[in-house]
Structure 1
C-alpha cells in the first residue's frame, strides 16, 4: 500500500479574518477569540480521509500566515510548493474582501506550482445577519471581474460562507481541500509520466541520413 501524500495548505488573508481560529478548530476542535497576531508562518498537520467511502487519505500540512503588511515579504517565501491555498475574508469587513484579489495575484506570482488549487472563505457568518456585508454572489462577481476565477476549480463548491466557530463547517471545508489537493497531486504525477518526448530512430525512406547525404548502407 502506497504511503499517504502530504499536501501543503496555506491560509492567506488580511489580519483578524480568522485564519488562526479556523486552523485551531480543525486541528484541536476548539475556538477562541483571543488569539495573538501571527508572526511569520507556522504549520500544524492532520490526517484527513478523502471521498465518500474514506478509501483514500492525505496528510494536510496547514500553514497559518501573518496578514500584516510588514510581514508580506516574509510570508511570500512560504508560497512556493503550495498545493491548496485558502483565502479568507471577514463578511462584516468589506476591506478584507476587496483585498482578496491582491492576495490571490501575489500568490499566483510566487507559488511556482503548476496547478495550485484555490478556495475562498467568507468567515464570521455567526455574526448578526445585519453585519453580513458581503455575499457569495458578490464574491463570485469580484473574482470574475479580476480574472482570478480561472484559478478556482468550481465556483459553486470552492467558495465557502461559514463560521470558524462551527466544527462541522470547518471539517467540510478541509475535506474539500483534501480532495482538491489529492486530485492535483495525482494529475501532476500523470503529467510527469507523459512528458517523455518520442524520438524517431527509423531510417529515412530515401536512403539518406535525413540531411540529404547517403546513409552509407551496402
Structure 2
C-alpha cells in the first residue's frame, strides 16, 4: 500500500433514484451503469486523489434514499468530513425534499461538515423540472457548495468531489478543523493506514476486503 497524507470520510445522501450510486461509480471507476438496483442500506467506494501534492483517500458511503432506511443512513453522518446532497433536476419532488435531507445531515453530523449540493442528470436538460438558478439559490441560502452533474457523461463529477475535498483541505490548513477530534471525519497520517482503522461502530462492513484498503 502507498502512503496517504489524509483520509476523509464522505457520505452521499438524497432521495431514491437521483443517481447517488451512479455518481459514486463514475467517480471511483469512471464508468456509467444505466440500470442500477436501489441501494439497500449503504454501499461503499474509495479513491485516492491529490491536492497540492498531498495524497487524500476518500472513503465514500453511498446511502439508501428510502424512508425505511433513514435511521441507518443517519448513523453514517457521524464522523463525516464531507457530504454530497443529491437531487434529480428532472424530478421536482427530489428538490423539494432537500430541506429534510439537509436538516438530517446537520442534526446528526459535525458542525464542520462540508456540504456540496448536486443537481444530477444534467444530460437530461430537456426534461428539466428544476432550474439551475433554483439550485444555486438554495445552496446560497443554506451555505452550501453547488454544481450540476451528469453521472452518465461524467460532467462535473470529478469536480464535485475535488471541490468539496479542497475546501476541507483548506480548513485543515487554516486550523479551522481540529484533527485530534474524531468527529471531523479526517485522519492525518505519516504512516500506512487501512480503512479498518476508521471502522464505524454502526457499520456492518468488512473493512478488510480487497477493494477497501487505503491508498
**Same fold by TM-score greater than 0.5:** yes
Question: Contact 1:123–1:162 (CA<8 Å) still a contact in 2?
Answer: yes
Question: 92, 95, 100: which one pairs with 1:94?
Answer: 92
Q: Which residue of structure 1 lines up, in the alignment, with residue 132 of structure 2?
A: 136
Match of 2:149 among 149, 162, 169: 162
**How far apart, in 2, do the equivalents of 1:138 and 1:168 lie?**
19
1:164 is paired with a residue whose SS is coil
Alignment of 1:1-218 (within 5 A): 3-50=4-51, 54-111=52-109, 113-127=110-124, 129-143=125-139, 149-150=142-143, 152=144, 158-167=145-154, 169-186=156-173, 187-189=176-178
- Which one has a bigger Cα radius of gyration? 1
User: Partner residue of 1:209?
Assistant: none
**TM-score when normalising by structure 2:** 0.76
Deviation of 1:181 after TM superposition, in Å, equals 2.5
Q: Is the 8 A contact 1:101 1:143 kept in 2?
A: no
TM superposition shift of 1:5:
1.0
Report the number of matched residues. 177
Q: 2: CA distance between counterparts of 1:168 and 1:135?
A: 17
Distance 2:38 2:179 in 1: 40
The answer to whether the Cα contact below 8 Å between 1:23 and 1:64 also exists between their aligned partners in 2 is yes
Partner of 2:207: none
| TM-score, structure 1 as length reference | 0.75
**Equivalents in 2 of 1:60, 1:183: separation in Å?**
16
Higher relative contact order (CA 8 A, sep 6+): 2
Q: CA deviation at 1:169?
A: 2.0
Contact 2:26–2:157 under 8 Å retained in 1: yes
| Alignment CA distance shift 1:75-1:190 (3 Å) | closer
CA change 1:138–1:168 in 2 (3 A) is: closer
